Amino acid sequence: MRPSLSIFAAFAAVFNAMAAPHCMNRTDVNGTSPSSTLSDPVKTYDCDGSVMCSTLKVQWCDEAVNWSLIRTDEAIYGPAGSGQPHLGACHGRGTDFGCAIVLEGSKECKRSGNDIWWDYQEIRKSGCHHCGHKRWGNGCSTTIDYYPECDWVR
């Protein structure tokens, strides 16, 4: 007895729907909903990135956050202009392009290496497979994205 092609198509559609990645707009990884009004939605996590984002090897991002990031509780990371000694961590193809985990926002946005490591885990847990953001504080974000030169991230 040969199963019908439509049965296989139905199973394929179900399995494909379960495997398709998606981003969830929520305030935390536990799925609690935003406390904002409908006219002012809060997106704590998103999977946005540059047009080159899909070219990244996720392994580069993992290596940057696990091997290049200085894991302490001291807030030694900040965006450009913050006066902090480090912008983030980057790993890639030699000194060329790669995956960077950096802080963005005003000069008041400061974070420890351990905080950035946890931000990275939460971005991944929210459904982002390549690039993404975690927004925290007053316009601050931890960002995973393509970076043209890893040497620029120290």
Cβ-based neighbours of 152, under 8 Å, separated by 6 or more: 87, 90
Q: What is the DSSP letter of 40?
A: S
C-beta pairs of 83-87 under 8 Å, 24+ apart in sequence:
83/107, 84/110, 85/154, 86/154, 87/152, 87/153, 87/154
**Domains and their CATH numbers in the chain:** 22-152 (3.30.430.10)
pTM equals 0.71
Where is 133: in which H helix or E strand? Answer: strand 132-136
Where is 5: in which H helix or E strand? Answer: helix 5-19
Task: Give me the pLDDT at residue 95, please.
Answer: 62
Q: d(Cα 143, Cα 66) in Å, to the nearest integer?
A: 15
Task: Give me the pLDDT at residue 152, please.
Answer: 79
Q: How far is CA 146 from the centre of its chain?
A: 11
Task: Give me the pLDDT at residue 58, please.
Answer: 93
Task: Give me the pLDDT at residue 39, please.
Answer: 38
Closest to 143 measured CA to CA, from 113, 100, 97, 106: 100
pLDDT tens per residue across all 154 residues of the chain: 454 544 433 433 333 333 333 333 333 333 433 333 333 355 799 999 999 999 889 999 999 999 999 999 999 999 999 999 999 999 987 767 899 999 999 999 999 999 999 999 999 999 999 999 999 988 999 999 999 988 878 7
